[in-house]
Amino acid sequence: MNIHEYQARQLLRDHGIPVKPESLSYPATEDSRAADKAADNKGSGYI
């Protein structure tokens, strides 16, 4: 099976598995902010 990440996320959600919200960033400054936000959610129970 070949699925995209967004499809895999939906499959996990459909089966009750918590998944972090998606984030999309382009410039380097946005990348670092997205990484900082993800780091803040450590241990939150998300995959």
1-47 pLDDT, tens per residue?
799 988 999 999 999 999 887 766 666 666 677 777 777 666 555 55
Q: What is the pLDDT of residue 16?
A: 95
**Where in the chain are the domains?**
5-40
pLDDT score, position 14: 96
Minimal CA–CA distance to 22: which of 47, 45, 42?
A: 47
**What confidence score (pLDDT) does residue 24 get?**
67
Is 4:10 a contact under the CB 8 Å cutoff? no
**pLDDT in the model for residue 20:** 82
